[in-house]
Amino acid sequence: MEILERIRPLVEEIAFKKVTDDEALYTSNLIDSMGTVDLAMMLEEEFNIKIDTRDIIESNFDSIDKLANYIKSRI
């Protein structure tokens, strides 16, 4: 299964709505700080990786596309 297809349902579970791959998650207020922590934990479990708190920044977490690029760099 493609990385995007694995990330999308996790993001949508946190955002409570369908989200496009390039839709901004923070600037559109779809995910808040608590949602970000939940999402990071879900991604760690899904991809069996450890996400450093310093990596939880807008350039890595602001869209499904950015998350996919970050995940690819970690696995």
pLDDT tens, position by position, 8-61: 999 999 999 999 999 999 888 899 889 999 999 999 999 999 999 999 988 899
Distance from C-alpha of 14 to C-alpha of 34, rounded to nearest angstrom: 10
Helix residue ranges per DSSP H, the chain: 3-15, 33-47, 58-61, 64-74
Dihedral of CA atoms 23, 43, 17, 69 in degrees, nearest 10, equals: 20
What's the predicted TM-score (pTM) here? 0.89
Place of tokens 């970050």: 70
Domain ranges of the chain: 3-74
3-74 maps to which CATH number?
1.10.1200.10
